[in-house]
């Protein structure tokens, strides 16, 4: 399989990105297509005896096989391989942090294979060539499933269950399908037509999406259980983590998801947005160093922010893996996202202690303690060094993670049990109610899209099994 | 001689452990002496006994030195001696030749003896014979050992004469019938007499004295043999070396017609074949009633030699001459021989229709009392040397010089050549040559005409359109038959494209079929058997000329007769049928052929008994079809669908094959299989091994068609789909054909017809019930699946097919790991945790690793658990540092892995006092010393493998252990090939070869074709380094215990039982997956067998093969191992990530690569490796504390601590019965000293050593003279060791010590001779002359008073200069087969050579001044050969696959002339002199043999130099 000496001959090359000064002018996708390089890049795959990528990928994507097919120029075959494990390669090909690549064996001594870009190239070819067409289930079982939440977990479960022959209806609180894919992730990473074209195919295949309907409010869980043979709760983990410090109520302090949601609504043409989220001419402080933080940076810049500063509680990570963080673990190294390239200052080791406002209650600055990470009784914690800092700003966005699913409505009123971390409690994806299942962030807590798809697929297997027995 | 497979189903119950008597092998020395003029003389008998005594070293002894493995003699009836002896008791013998004498073993117990006698007398009367009387054969048993004495029978002669006047041949036939009937009936009546009642001989012509004796005991035991009046014109002797030690008087040889040295590998198939042939017996000489009485001709419980003897007997008694019978049973390699006459070829082709070859190494001596002769099988893997004397004696024996003859009296000295026969007719008083006798026989009947009339070539049958499938889709069919994407991609596509099997590396770390969770192909429960020690594998590529795939379909007829109808069969070039082929057969409309098709399907709705019922019904259908006259049966599963499931093809074939055998009609029909589940070489091999005659793998062609249509495979042109399709079909058939040949060859079998039905497999995980009905005779030791379970696996595939039909095929993950595929012990989690443990020195991570492995239920050892025992505190257990010394790393050569990876292991092992292994590639001498930092890169274990790369006297001298690699876990029975691109300057130097030139390791060691040969190699190595212990590496399989016993008797100090799953080298995928068995079985069997035969105390047992955790060590120790080898895990510790790319040189972590850029990436440290071994030892200590063992010593072999855990594993593992594994023998460790079995020096050895010491003190060159005998073996090797100790590889100045010898040198004359020694032998030498020559000079010249032409006589045995690295050899006469095999540096001159000369040569030079044998230069990749081709016949003997023939250049001729002058100087060669005298004419007759690989490298070098 593949080309045995490819990795010795070809270096890693990623597809080109539009230049930062260009791309910040709009919300269009920042990567250019891979083009003809895909085959060359795929030839770097070593067809490992133990492909760690295959275990690194939560979906178990058959990476060496699609690499081989791409190397041979057979994208059709590559796509058939890819679709067996991944319902939505067009999503993961764009926004997955690619744990496969961090476990790629070539990464031990070289740069890993560009697995994610190859994946995207395969899926885009599949869409462009018309290989993705509605595929009606062969049989209909007569069973029905309700899915609450149309994020990646819900969509993956819906796709699977529909193909098993069950009738599937997906309930979405928002106006559009996709969950965080649609209203969380900025368009420059994932343009929304990518989500909608997939939803359209699924609809043609028989999946029904019902938007603007909130379960727990519009319809109760009990009602759903009566009308459907099974219910899947895939509502994500949207309850944001907060900072409980002085001045939190100041005007101009926002949760990241509210900020991003507002912006995505504007891009989608849903409305003109809420003026208080506008970053035009403002100095924006983003608290939190993860992907959501980056999304806030890129969005702020595109919306005309004067200056963007990102503050992270952790110390600056090393440039390369340390001995304590060996391959094939997830590399805890300094990552520079596309947003960072677009103009942003990064400050490490600061913990917010107060949001300072003017008389009008408007945020003017944030005070910080300088901190240092330490292990204490086996737990990691941040200890003040004694130094302090205050950074002036017009807006602060909190992107420091999510606690658990939102409780009000569905969970609070139905008697669904939660686990110790606050997620919906489940054994083998089944909640404390028979026939009610849960998957995705709602079950496992805040995580990656690829995990959500994997969860959706696994839950679908379980639901199918319970419906067949 | 062996019984591979006994009627185990019944016998198994008698043996509770893993040992089974059917595993026994033996091997030997044979010979005969005869008077050509037929005169009965005393000197013949005495000569034969002397010869026998001089071959003592070819025989074996048991636990006691005075219990031999067996010796015997066959003579003509000494009429006058017997007459006189009988006169004393008042009995009168009739005329010579008109009465029969029966030499018989009777039970010692008197009442039983009387019963036997009463019965015997009854039969004598019934057969219309008169009992003349009895004579007690006088014996003196005082010299016998205990075990021989315990089973000693009474030896009684009885004498009978016919009531009617009968001619002698009729009388002989009557005696045959009486003997066979009496033997059989008495054994049936009194089962206790099975071993104690035995008629050694009953004939009017010959008499046999034999028993459980050493060669020296034969004469002292049988007093008759000492009598002056005891005379004969011929005497045939045999000394036996057996792997077993259970005394069996009757297994001694000779038998009535033959004495056999070697082993019939195809015995199971031959015996099954004979049993159905017997049913067809009809004869004009025997009456029908007589034929009834002689049944059965063959019996699985007897040895292969004994069965062969019985077949020879029936063929000759029914009218064929003895040579004719031998030609039928041991045919020459005729298929690919273009020089053979049409008549002879027709003879062999014709007789193939009657009888499959009894295949395997065989040197057979035969006699009927009137002629005496010998024949060598097609491979010629046994030495047979003869001497004719001027006074009319014929002497033939395994060794030259075993019966010394005055040089003046020698008329001719020769050797038996492969496939050739030699007959002395004592009536005619002359030698009949091979050509004459065969010519006579071949022309006696019109075989060629008969073939033209009877045989049908499948290619001449009319084409018919292909058959359509039943009601199923392609996708469904793939799933019904369990195909995976991986099999298509990794196994089938490479065969379609390349025409050969794909390679893999890093062994198999997936579970055996019985422990896998995935539904299995039934064939995967059957492990391929292979040859090791007791017989040699063959090189099916380089020795293709002896191999054949010819297949004959149709009915076999009465073998006692011969007519044109006998060859009315369809001839196929090979047994893999295309769709067109099977259609032709299905629709055949030629008179004499009739086809019946059986649907091999069962109903899915009855999982419990559906399969078994279906099996019963197809067996009955087959029987009925055959009895109604059909002679071709097609077993087809083409119509499988959702309701009717395919019976696994192997099960269907096996069931019908064995049912038809039981019904006595198997020979009437050929079984043709049309099977969807057959795809890999292994699948084909199992089908053929269990009875299929031809197979059509229709699904493979389906897949092929799809692949071409879907552009997965290239098309020649867009329009022409069919031509591409047929090209790929042919590639596939070729790949399977070559793969099958390799599988045959690894067992030492040459032809398809012999392999067919030979059952060369070990089933693991199949119940005895299934074995009995479908695979009867195979040894299944731990039981397993019954019919219903086999059905379940088929039905699981069906369920999968229905439920998953929408999805692409599952991947499989057997060859490469996949998250949703087959389990692998080495997976991302285990690799990661082990590497972290080793790098960070974290025992915690190691625990994570071992917990992942220990509980997984995927190895046999995981089905075992420890019993509760009082535990002890951890600190009472012996310390880690002592345990560490018991570790060894696996054999991985420098060449297969990088210098960095190799030396890191060595440093680590040396630091902890354990042993690293050089592997088979030699070792750089700079590593022998201590480094500046105190570390040592010297590998304690130096391996001696078949390629002998870099095996010099200095290499051997610098070892702590010398390991003979008999087989390798990943590919037992196969050779290796290091491609030229991996041989860089460094590796080339270390291997003593030319960089850039590819290096082949032959499948067999060319100096080990049998157990006595191994004993000789061990002897050589103990001479080359007396302090080193000698270890023999065997691969686990049923019977490895008896092999181990033989190896211990051959004086090995350590036996390594290697599991099937280890192995890091490159091998064909089917070998990685399907050959050998887990170490648990082999180790336990070896331990049990050795304890039982009282040999365990002489040897250390070591085991390896995926040993990974402390628990693995504990179980290995409890099953009998005192040491453990670890290879794969050690590589992982230093960075290996199981890429399985070793064979591609692209290892991305710098381990299995020679690419300098990749080598830089190696990041392993000795500390990492030490960490792993330390953690393993720590874990073991914890278990020891828990079980209450303070030391490893007290833990070894204590298997009663273990019990089977019924809950572990999957649904199938509960069906296994591991009790035989756990059989406990009360034994505790008492071995003393290393090496455990030292070999004392002989006087000659000591005198040579003295000479070295004298030189060391004086530095004055000296010359000595000695007499030498064939019992003086490895002469000069000890002295060379002394030189190497002192001077390393530099040796001494040229001719510092000249030793002149007179006489016949024993084997391995001058082996590993150091530079500076000059060994001048006047006389002759035996096999392995100059083996491993390391700079010494050897001259072998005829005695000046011998009045023969040197170049027409043999003077040097087989396999001279094997693996020589430097030095010179001058042979004043002909040398035997395989002259200069794998020579890599020595320079030789000989005046004629046998077959396969210069095979695999990689360097050095060979000048042959006379005739050469077949297959000259096969696999030659380096060095130069010159042949004086004055008859112009050289080209017909030359194998042109890897070398070219050129005209020598002017400078070549200058060099040649000086070399020949040198030869003349040393040997006084007449031929050499002649050539030099007529140089201007003679020089034009020389040809130069130039290997292409070598030439390419030389030219590249020249052009490099030219360009500066």
Determine the pLDDT at residue B12: 38
- Which of A49, A73, A104 to mutate against chain B (most B CBs within 10 Å)? A49
Measured on CA atoms in the order B469, B473, B478, B481, is the torsion positive or negative? negative
- CA-based angle A181:A186:A190, to the nearest 5? 60
Q: CA-CA distance, B1055 to B1078, in Å (whole number)? A: 16
User: Is pLDDT of B405 > 80?
Assistant: yes
- Sequence-ordered list of residues with C-beta below 8 angstroms from that of B103, at least 6 positions apart, any chain: B137, B155, B157, B199, B200, B201, B202, B207, B208, B209
CB contact under 8 A, A51 and B818: yes
pLDDT score recorded for residue B335: 86
| Bridge partners, B1247 (sequence order) | none
Q: Is A5 close to B1146, i.e. CB distance below 8 A?
A: yes
Pairing of strands B154-162, B129-136: antiparallel
Q: Is the distance from CB of B333 to CB of B538 less than 8 angstroms?
A: no
Residue B1019, pLDDT > 50, answer yes
Whether the CA torsion A24, A29, A35, A39 is positive or negative: it is positive
| Alpha-carbon distance A49 to nearest alpha carbon in chain B (angstroms) | 4
Exposed / middle / buried, residue B539 (Cβ in 10 Å: 0-12, 13-18, 19+): buried
Q: Does B713 touch chain A (CB under 8 A)?
A: no
Exposed / middle / buried, residue A329 (Cβ in 10 Å: 0-12, 13-18, 19+): middle
Q: Report the 10 Å Cβ neighbour count for B681.
A: 26
Q: How far apart are CA B1186 and CA B1016, in angstroms?
A: 45
What is the pLDDT averaged over residues B265-289? 84
CA proximity to B148, closest of B248, B217, B253: B248
Residue of A nearest to B1135 (CA): A108
Chain B residue numbers touching A48 (CB-CB < 8 A): 816, 1137-1140
Residues of chain A with Cβ-Cβ distance to B832 below 8 Å are 328
3-state secondary structure of B345: helix
Nearest neighbour of B820 by CB, restricted to A48, A60, A81: A60
Q: Does B818 touch chain A (CB under 8 A)?
A: yes
Q: pLDDT (tens digit, 9 = 90+) per residue, B465-503?
A: 776 666 788 988 999 999 999 999 999 999 999 999 998
For the question of residue B28 being annotated catalytic, the response is yes
Is there a contact between A8 and B1146 if contact means CB atoms under 8 Å apart? yes
Contact predicate A122/A39, CB 8 Å: no
pLDDT digits (tens, 9 = 90+) for B1067-1078: 888 888 898 899
Say which of B828, B1141, B1149 has its CB closest to residue A108.
B1149
Q: What is the pLDDT of residues B802-826, one digit of tens each?
A: 877 777 888 999 999 999 999 999 9
Name B292's Cβ contacts closer than 8 Å, sequence gap at least 6.
none
Give which of A46, A386, A1, A135 is closest to B1146, Cα–Cα: A46
For chain B, count helices (H), then strands (E): 47, 54
Nearest CA in chain A to B1161: A109
Give the pLDDT confidence score for residue B244 in this predicted structure. Answer: 56
Note whether B827 contacts A: Cβ–Cβ < 8 A: yes
The CA-to-CA distance between both ends of chain A, in Å, stands at 41
A8 CA: distance to closest CA in chain B (Å)? 9
Given CB atoms, is B824 within the 8 Å cutoff of chain A? yes
What is the spatial distance between Cα B446 and Cα A259, in angstroms, rounded to a whole number? 101
pLDDT recorded at residue B8 = 33
The pLDDT of B617-645, averaged and rounded, is: 96
Mutate to test the interface with B, among A12, A50, A164 (most CBs of B within 10 A): A50
**Would an 8 Å CB–CB cutoff place B1165 in contact with chain A?**
no
Nearest Cα residue to B670 out of B372, B934, B456: B456
HEC per residue, B853-900: HHCCCCCHHHHEEECCCCCCCHHHCCCHHHHHCCEEECCCCECCECHH
**Across all residues in chain A, what is the average pLDDT?**
94
Whether residue A84 and residue B808 make contact (CB cut-off 8 A), yes or no, is yes
Alpha helices, H only, A4-51: 6-9, 20-23, 37-42
Is residue B492 less than 8 Å (CB to CB) from chain A? no
Residues 993-1052 of B with CB under 8 A from A: none
> Comparing B290 with B1486, which gets the higher pLDDT?
B1486
Name the minimum distance, in Å, from the CA of B823 to any CA of chain A.
Answer: 11
Q: Which residue would you say has higher pLDDT here, B66 or A1? A: B66
Q: CB count, 10 Å around CB of A421?
A: 11
Give the one of B819, B1141, B1161 whose C-beta lies nearest to A60's C-beta: B819
Q: Check pLDDT > 80 for residue B247.
A: no
Looking at the complex, report in whole angstroms how far the Cα of residue B1116 sits from the nearest Cα belonging to chain A. Answer: 27
| Surface-to-core class of residue B1216, CB atoms within 10 Å of its CB (0-12 exposed, 13-18 middle, 19+ buried) | buried
- Contact: A50, B811; criterion CB under 8 Å: no
Dihedral over alpha carbons A120, A125, A127, A133 (to 10 degrees): -120
What ranges in A165-306 are assigned the alpha helix state H?
Answer: 180-183, 192-205, 221-227, 256-267, 291-302
Show the 3-state SS of B1227-1279. Answer: CCCCCCCCCCCCCCCCHHHHHHHHHHHHHHHHCCCEEEEEEECCCCCCCCHHH
Question: Which pairing describes strands B154-162 and B100-106: parallel, antiparallel, or unpaired?
Answer: antiparallel
Sheet holding B887-889, edge to edge: B887-889, B1123-1126, B1100-1104, B1054-1058, B1029-1035, B961-965, B941-944
Q: What is the mean pLDDT of residues B266-295?
A: 85
Q: Which chain A residue has its CA at the smallest distance from B714's CA?
A: A72
Confidence (pLDDT) at B904: 97
Mean of the pLDDT values across residues B216-223?
Answer: 95
Find, among B306, B103, B133, the residue nearest to B205 by Cα. B103
**Rounded Cα gap, residues B352 and B566, in angstroms:** 10
The pair of structure tokens assigned to A132 is: 């993705």
Q: Please indicate whether, in this complex, the C-beta atoms of B819 and A5 are within 8 angstroms of each other.
A: no
Interface of A with B in 325-384 (CB under 8 A): 326, 328
Closest-CA residue of chain B to A109 = B1161
Mark yes or no for CB contact B1139/A74 under 8 Å: no
| pLDDT (0 to 100) of residue B14 | 46
Lowest mean pLDDT among A142-146, A161-165, B277-281, B317-321: B277-281
Contact criterion met (CB < 8 Å) for B1137 and A48: yes
CA atoms within 13 A on the CB side of B1490: 16
Residue B799 is encoded by which pair of tokens?
């369920």
Nearest to B1148 among A80, A109, A323 (CB): A109
* A442-460 average pLDDT score: 96
> In the numeric block, which tokens belong to residue A48?
């490992």
Q: Is B1504 on the interface with A (CB under 8 A)?
A: no
Tokens matching residue B1175: 């953690």
Instruction: Quote the pLDDT of residue B499.
Output: 94
pLDDT > 90: percent of chain A: 90
- What does the DSSP assignment read for B158-182? EEEEESS---HHHHHHHHHHHHHHH
Yes or no, beta carbons of A56 and B816 under 8 Å apart: no
Q: Does A154 touch chain B (CB under 8 A)?
A: no
The yes-or-no verdict on residue A163 having pLDDT over 90 is yes
- The residue written with tokens 């033209």 in the block is B452
Answer yes or no: are the C-beta atoms of B1162 and B1156 closer than 8 Å: no
Q: Strand B371-376 vs strand B362-367: parallel, antiparallel, or unpaired? A: antiparallel
Q: What single-letter DSSP state applies at residue A398? A: E
E strands, A288-401, in order: 307-312, 345-348, 350-357, 363-376, 379-392, 395-398
* pLDDT given for residue B295 in this prediction: 84
Non-local CB neighbours of B267 within 8 Å, separated by 6+ positions: B2, B3, B4, B5, B304, B307, B358, B360, B758
Crossing angle of helices B1011-1024 and B1040-1049, in 10° steps, is: 50
pLDDT tens digits for range B1117-1151: 999 999 999 999 999 999 999 999 988 889 999 99
Report residue B1279 as tokens.
């002295």
Q: Which of A296-305, B534-543, B992-1001, B1036-1045 has the highest mean pLDDT?
A: A296-305
The verdict on whether omega for the bond into residue B737 sits within 30 degrees of 0, i.e. cis, is no
Q: How much is the pLDDT for B22?
A: 65
């Amino acid at each position: 399989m593949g080309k045995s000496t490819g990795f010795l001959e070809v270096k890693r090359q990623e597809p080109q990105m539009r230049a930062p000064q260009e791309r910040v002018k709009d919300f269009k996708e920042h990567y250019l297509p891979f083009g003809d390089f895909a085959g060359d890049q795929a030839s770097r795959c070593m067809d490992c005896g133990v492909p760690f990528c295959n275990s690194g990928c939560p979906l178990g994507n058959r990476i060496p096989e699609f690499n081989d097919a791409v190397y041979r120029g057979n994208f059709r075959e590559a796509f058939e391989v890819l679709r067996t494990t991944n319902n939505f390669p067009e999503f993961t090909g764009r926004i997955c942090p690619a744990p496969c690549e961090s476990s790629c064996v070539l990464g031990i001594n070289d740069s890993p294979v560009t697995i994610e870009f190859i994946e995207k190239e395969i899926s885009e070819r599949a869409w462009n060539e018309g290989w993705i067409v509605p595929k009606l289930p062969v049989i209909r079982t007569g069973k029905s499933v309700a899915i609450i939440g149309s994020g990646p977990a819900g969509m993956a479960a819906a796709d699977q269950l529909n193909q098993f022959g069950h009738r599937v209806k997906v309930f979405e609180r928002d106006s559009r399908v996709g969950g965080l894919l649609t209203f969380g992730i900025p368009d420059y990473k994932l343009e929304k037509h990518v989500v909608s074209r997939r939803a359209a195919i699924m609809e043609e295949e028989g999946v029904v999406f019902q938007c603007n309907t909130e379960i727990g409010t519009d319809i109760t869980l009990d009602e759903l259980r009566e009308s459907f043979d099974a219910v899947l709760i895939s509502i994500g983990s949207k309850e944001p983590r907060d900072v409980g410090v002085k001045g939190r109520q100041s005007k101009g302090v926002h949760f990241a998801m509210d900020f991003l949601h507002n912006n995505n609504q504007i891009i989608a043409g849903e409305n003109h947005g809420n003026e208080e989220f506008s970053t035009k001419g403002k100095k924006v402080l983003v608290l939190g160093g993860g992907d959501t933080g980056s999304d806030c940076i890129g969005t702020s810049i595109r919306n005309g922010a004067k200056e963007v500063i990102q503050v992270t509680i952790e110390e600056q990570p090393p440039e390369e893996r340390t001995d304590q963080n060996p391959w094939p673990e997830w590399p805890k190294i300094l990552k520079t996202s596309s947003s960072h390239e677009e103009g942003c200052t990064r400050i490490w080791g600061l913990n917010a202690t107060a949001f300072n406002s003017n008389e009008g209650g408007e945020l003017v600055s944030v005070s910080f303690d300088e901190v240092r990470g330490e292990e204490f009784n086996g737990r990691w914690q941040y200890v003040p060094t004694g130094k302090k800092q205050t950074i002036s700003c017009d807006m602060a966005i909190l992107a420091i993670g999510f606690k658990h699913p939102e409780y009000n409505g569905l969970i609070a009123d139905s008697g669904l049990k939660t686990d110790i971390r606050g997620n919906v409690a489940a054994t083998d994806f089944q909640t404390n109610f028979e026939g009610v299942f849960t998957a995705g962030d709602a079950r496992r807590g805040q995580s990656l899209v690829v995990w959500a798809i994997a969860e959706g697929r696994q839950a679908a297997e379980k639901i199918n099994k319970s419906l067949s027995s | 001689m062996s019984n591979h497979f006994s009627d185990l189903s019944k016998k198994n119950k008698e043996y509770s452990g893993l040992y089974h008597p059917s595993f026994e092998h033996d091997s030997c020395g044979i010979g005969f002496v005869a008077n050509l003029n037929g005169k009965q003389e005393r000197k013949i008998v005495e000569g034969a006994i002397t010869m026998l005594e001089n071959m003592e070293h070819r025989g074996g002894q048991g636990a006691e030195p005075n219990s031999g493995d067996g010796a015997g003699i066959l003579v003509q009836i000494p009429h006058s001696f017997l007459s006189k002896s009988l006169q004393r008791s008042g009995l009168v013998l009739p005329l010579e030749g008109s009465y029969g004498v029966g030499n018989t073993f009777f039970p010692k117990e008197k009442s039983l003896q009387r019963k036997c006698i009463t019965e015997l007398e009854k039969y004598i009367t019934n057969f219309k014979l008169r009992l003349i009387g009895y004579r007690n054969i006088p014996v003196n048993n005082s010299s016998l050992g205990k075990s021989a004495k315990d089973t000693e029978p009474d030896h009684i002669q009885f004498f009978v004469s016919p009531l009617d006047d009968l001619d002698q041949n009729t009388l002989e036939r009557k005696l045959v019938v009486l003997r066979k009937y009496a033997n059989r009936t008495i054994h049936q009546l009194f089962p206790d007499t099975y071993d104690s009642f035995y008629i050694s001989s009953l004939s009017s012509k010959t008499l046999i004295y034999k028993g459980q004796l050493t060669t020296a005991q034969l004469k002292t035991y049988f007093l008759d043999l000492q009598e002056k009046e005891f005379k004969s014109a011929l005497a045939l002797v045999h000394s036996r070396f057996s792997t077993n030690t259970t005394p069996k008087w009757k297994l001694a040889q000779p038998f009535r017609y033959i004495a056999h040295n070697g082993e019939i590998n195809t015995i199971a198939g031959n015996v099954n074949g004979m049993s159905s042939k017997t049913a067809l017996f009809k004869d004009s000489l025997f009456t029908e009633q007589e034929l009834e009485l002689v049944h059965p001709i063959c019996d699985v419980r007897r040895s292969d030699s004994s069965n062969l003897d019985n077949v020879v007997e029936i063929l000759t008694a029914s009218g064929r001459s003895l040579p004719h019978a031998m030609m039928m049973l041991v045919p020459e390699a005729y298929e690919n021989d273009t020089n053979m006459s049409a008549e002879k070829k027709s003879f062999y082709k014709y007789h193939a229709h009657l009888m499959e070859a009894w295949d395997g190494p065989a040197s057979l001596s035969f006699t009927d009392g009137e002629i005496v002769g010998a024949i060598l099988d097609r491979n010629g893997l046994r030495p047979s040397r003869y001497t004719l004397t001027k006074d009319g004696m014929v002497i033939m024996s395994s060794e030259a010089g075993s019966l010394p003859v005055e040089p003046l009296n020698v008329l001719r000295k020769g050797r038996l050549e492969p496939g050739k026969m030699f007959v002395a007719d004592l009536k005619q008083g002359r030698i009949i040559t091979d050509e004459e006798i065969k010519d006579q026989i071949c022309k006696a009947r019109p075989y060629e005409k008969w073939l033209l009339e009877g045989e049908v070539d499948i290619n001449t049958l009319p084409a018919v359109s292909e058959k359509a499938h039943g009601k199923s889709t392609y996708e469904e069919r793939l799933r019904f038959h369990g195909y995976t994407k991986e099999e298509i991609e990794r196994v089938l596509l490479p065969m379609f494209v390349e025409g050969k099997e794909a390679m893999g590396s890093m062994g198999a770390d997936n579970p055996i079929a019985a422990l896998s969770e995935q539904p299995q192909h039934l064939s995967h429960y059957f492990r391929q058997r292979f040859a090791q020690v007791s017989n040699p594998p063959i090189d099916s590529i380089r020795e293709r000329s002896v191999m054949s795939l010819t297949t004959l379909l149709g009915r076999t007829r009465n073998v006692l007769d011969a007519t044109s109808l006998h060859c009315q069969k369809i001839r196929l070039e090979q047994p893999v049928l295309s769709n067109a082929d099977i259609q032709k057969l299905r629709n055949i409309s030629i008179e004499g052929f009739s086809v019946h098709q059986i649907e091999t399907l069962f109903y899915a709705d009855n999982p419990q008994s559906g399969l078994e019922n279906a099996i019963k019904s197809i067996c009955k259908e087959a029987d009925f079809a055959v009895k109604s006259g059909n002679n071709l049966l097609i077993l087809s599963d083409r119509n499988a669908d959702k309701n009717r499931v395919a019976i696994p093809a192997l099960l269907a074939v096996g069931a019908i094959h064995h049912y038809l055998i039981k019904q006595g009609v198997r020979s009437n029909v050929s079984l043709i299989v049309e099977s969807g589940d057959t795809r890999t070489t292994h699948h084909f091999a199992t089908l053929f091994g269990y009875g299929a005659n031809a197979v059509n793998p229709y699904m493979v062609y389906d897949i092929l068609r799809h692949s071409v249509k879907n552009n997965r495979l290239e098309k020649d042109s867009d329009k022409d789909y069919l031509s591409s399709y047929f090209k790929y079909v042919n590639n596939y058939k070729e790949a399977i054909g070559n793969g099958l040949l390799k599988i045959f060859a690894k067992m030492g079998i040459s032809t398809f017809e012999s392999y067919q039905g030979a059952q060369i497999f070990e089933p693991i995980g199949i119940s005895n019930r299934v074995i009995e009905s479908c695979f009867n005779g195979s040894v299944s030791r731990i039981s397993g699946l019954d019919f219903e379970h086999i059905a379940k696996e088929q039905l699981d595939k069906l369920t999968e097919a229905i439920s998953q039909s929408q999805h692409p095929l599952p991947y499989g993950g057997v060859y490469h790991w996949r998250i949703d595929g087959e389990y692998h012990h080495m997976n991302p989690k285990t690799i990661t945790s082990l590497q972290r443990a080793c790098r960070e020195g974290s025992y915690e991570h190691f625990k994570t690793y071992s917990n992942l492995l220990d509980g997984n239920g995927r190895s046999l050892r995981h089905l075992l658990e420890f019993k509760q025992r009082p535990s002890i505190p951890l600190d009472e257990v012996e310390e880690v540092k002592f345990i560490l010394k018991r570790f060894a790393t696996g054999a991985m050569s420098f060449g297969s892995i990088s210098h960095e990876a190799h030396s890191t292991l060595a440093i680590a092992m040396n630091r902890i006092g354990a042993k690293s292994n050089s592997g088979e590639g030699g070792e750089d001498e700079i590593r022998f010393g201590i480094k500046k930092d105190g570390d040592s890169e010297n590998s304690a274990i130096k391996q001696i493998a078949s390629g002998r790369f870099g095996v010099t006297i200095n290499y051997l001298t610098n070892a702590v252990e010398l390991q003979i690699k008999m087989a390798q876990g990943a590919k037992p029975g196969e050779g290796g090939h290091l491609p030229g691109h991996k041989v860089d300057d460094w590796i080339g130097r270390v291997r003593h070869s030319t960089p850039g030139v590819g290096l082949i390791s032959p499948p067999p060691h060319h100096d080990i074709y049998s157990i006595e040969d191994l004993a000789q190699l061990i002897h050589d190595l103990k001479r080359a380094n007396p302090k080193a212990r000698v270890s023999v590496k065997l691969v686990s399989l049923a019977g490895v215990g008896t092999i181990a016993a033989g190896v211990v008797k051959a004086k090995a100090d350590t036996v390594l039982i290697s599991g099937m799953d280890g192995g890091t080298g490159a091998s064909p995928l089917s070998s990685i997956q399907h050959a050998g068995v887990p170490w648990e079985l082999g180790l336990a069997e070896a331990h049990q067998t050795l304890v039982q035969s009282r040999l365990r105390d002489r040897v250390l047992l070591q085991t390896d093969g995926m040993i990974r955790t402390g628990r693995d060590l504990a179980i290995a120790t409890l099953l009998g191992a005192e040491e453990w080898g670890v290879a794969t895990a050690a590589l992982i510790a230093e960075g290996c990530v199981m890429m399985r790319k070793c064979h591609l040189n692209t290892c991305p972590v710098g381990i299995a690569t020679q690419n300098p850029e990749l080598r830089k990436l190696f990041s392993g440290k000795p500390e990492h490796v030490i960490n792993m071994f330390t953690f393993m030892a720590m874990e073991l200590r914890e278990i020891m504390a828990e079980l209450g063992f303070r030391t490893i010593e007290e833990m070894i072999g204590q298997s009663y601590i273990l019990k089977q855990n019924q809950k572990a594993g999957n649904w199938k593992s509960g069906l296994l019965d591991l009790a035989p594994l756990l059989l406990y023998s009360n034994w505790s460790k008492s071995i003393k000293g290393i090496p455990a079995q030292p070999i004392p020096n002989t006087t000659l050895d000591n005198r040579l050593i003295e000479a070295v010491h004298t030189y060391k003190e004086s530095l004055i060159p000296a010359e000595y003279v000695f007499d030498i005998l064939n019992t003086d073996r490895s002469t000069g090797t000890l002295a060379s060791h002394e030189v190497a100790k002192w001077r390393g590889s530099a040796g001494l100045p040229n001719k510092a010590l000249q030793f002149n010898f007179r006489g016949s040198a024993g084997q391995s004359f001058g082996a590993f001779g150091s530079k500076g020694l000059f060994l001048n032998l006047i006389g002759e030498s035996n096999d392995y002359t100059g083996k491993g020559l390391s700079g010494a000079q050897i001259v072998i010249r005829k005695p000046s008073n011998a009045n023969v032409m040197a170049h027409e006589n043999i003077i040097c045995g087989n396999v001279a200069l094997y693996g020589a690295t430097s030095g010179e050899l001058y042979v004043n006469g002909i040398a035997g087969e395989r002259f200069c095999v794998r020579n890599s540096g020595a320079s030789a001159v000989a005046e004629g050579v046998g077959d396969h000369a210069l095979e695999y040569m990689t360097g050095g030079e060979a000048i042959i001044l006379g005739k050469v044998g077949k297959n000259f230069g096969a696999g030659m990749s380096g060095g130069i050969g010159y042949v004086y081709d004055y008859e112009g016949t050289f080209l017909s003997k030359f194998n042109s696959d890897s070398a070219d023939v050129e005209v020598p250049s002017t400078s070549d001729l200058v060099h040649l002339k000086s070399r020949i002058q040198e030869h003349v100087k040393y040997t006084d060669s007449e031929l050499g002199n002649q050539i030099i005298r007529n140089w201007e004419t003679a020089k034009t007759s020389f040809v130069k043999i130039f290997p292409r690989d070598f030439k390419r490298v030389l030219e590249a070098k020249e052009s490099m130099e030219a360009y500066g």
